[in-house]
Amino acid sequence: MTRDRALLLTGRGLRAYAFGFSAVLIGLHLERAGLSPTLIGLTLGVGLAAASLTGLGSAALAARAGRRTTLAMVGLLMAITGLDLALATQPALLVASGVTGMLGAASVDYGPFASVEQAMLAESASGPKRNRAFGRYSLTGGLFNAAGGLTTALFAGTRAFFLLYAALGVITAALPLFMSDRVEGEPARVAFGSFRPLAGLAALFALDSLGGGFVANAVIAYWLHVRFGVGPHLLGPVFAGIAFLQALSYEVSGRLADRIGLINTMVFTHLPSNLLLLVVPFAPSLGWAVGLLLARFALAQMDVPARQAYIVSIVPPGERAGAVAMTGAVRGVAMSLGPTLAGVAIGAAAFGFPFFAGGGLKAVYDLALYAGFRNRRAEHEA
């Protein structure tokens, strides 16, 4: 592993650790601050939308100021978010915490950092090794995300966690400054190329993400809290287990994609996970609900490294950051609608709605993706 890749994965890991405890605690933290379920859902929705839209800004900035400078600025945004959550008391300021795009409410793959990091990773991994490189990238995020979730069971309180969140943001801002010039890649003529090759794919990603917004990690954590009265002492280990299973699935995903292809890997693992999602509301007890969620998440994220490798492999190298940012923006804006509606549903005791809406929309996406793209391979696929 080169020094640059080591620094890249270190930043990825620290950020994922912070996102791990943020996803578990953010709903409870906002509730303790006096926000209603509707405002909590709105805060998560704002965070998801901003995470994707700031990705467009970071891709444009990287083309002008460089990738290292852009990643350093993203770390500062993370620090600002942590300080807002830890110190603010007014509801308006807490809702505004998601505006930076670094709330970490859903996944370690949403935010202004994603497009820049994935473009760097594609430059550093040759074609035949690219599937597994993205698998390891996701594996690193998954393991540290699990550790972050587990930490919430060890310490009481939420404010101190978000002060730690701010401190980790400062560290991740410093790491890119130690990378070499090689990570900048070829100078980009334009930040964004033609969107036409990605239009159909982006539309399907939007459908998937709309469904995913209903069952974002922070929404599920809040649902378990309201439905079964679960506190941080149990939510932490549950989401640590979820993140650990996801991390293992990332490594399997890269190897599976080498054998059956990227699109097949995305569909054949994702569809069964969404059928499991539809069953969760029928769980008669907390144990059944957690068991079904663990089974679902063991499969649900195997499409992530395959999707990332596919996107950067169907566009020219100079347009990779822009391609990741554009598809991510469409996905994130669609996902941002889900938490708001889910918060309203949970507040009205309609506990099954988020899972029925999320699982149904995501299953339709799987079938449409297979029908439309099964014969279009990435540049490095035989």
238-264: per-residue pLDDT in tens? 887 887 888 889 888 888 988 899 999
**Crossing angle for the helix pair 3-32 and 67-87, nearest 10 degrees?**
20
277 three-state secondary structure: helix
pLDDT at 327: 85
Mean pLDDT value of segment 96-125? 80
Mean pLDDT value of segment 173-197? 76
Measured in whole angstroms, the distance separating CA 315 from the mean position of its chain's CA atoms is: 22
Mean pLDDT value of segment 362-381? 88
pLDDT above 80 for 229: yes
pLDDT at 169: 95
pLDDT at 287: 92
pLDDT above 60 for 1: no
Burial of 353 (0-12, 13-18, 19+ CB in 10 A): middle
Mean pLDDT value of segment 341-347? 70
For 239, the token pair is 């989401």
pLDDT above 60 for 349: no
**Percent of the chain at pLDDT above 90?**
25
pLDDT at 238: 86
pLDDT above 70 for 98: yes
How does the average pLDDT of the chain come out, rounded?
Answer: 84
Amino acid, single-letter form, for residue 149? G
pLDDT in tens, 132-159: 888 888 889 888 988 887 888 777 678 8
Predicted confidence band of residue 353 (pLDDT cuts 50, 70, 90): confident
User: Model-level pTM?
Assistant: 0.72
* CA distance linking residue 9 with residue 112, whole number of Å: 16
Amino acid, single-letter form, for residue 207? L
Predicted confidence band of residue 290 (pLDDT cuts 50, 70, 90): very high
Answer with the residue of higher pLDDT: 310 or 189.
Answer: 310
- Domain spanning 3-373, CATH class: mainly alpha
pLDDT above 80 for 323: yes
pLDDT at 267: 95
Domain definitions of the chain by residue range: 3-373
Give the other-Cβ count within 10 Å of 283's Cβ: 17
Q: Count each helix (H run) and each strand (E run) in the chain, helices first.
A: 15, 0
Predicted confidence band of residue 235 (pLDDT cuts 50, 70, 90): confident
Predicted confidence band of residue 382 (pLDDT cuts 50, 70, 90): low
pLDDT above 90 for 75: yes
Mean pLDDT lowest for which of 139-153, 161-175, 270-284?
A: 139-153
Is the Cβ–Cβ distance between 30 and 84 less than 8 Å?
no
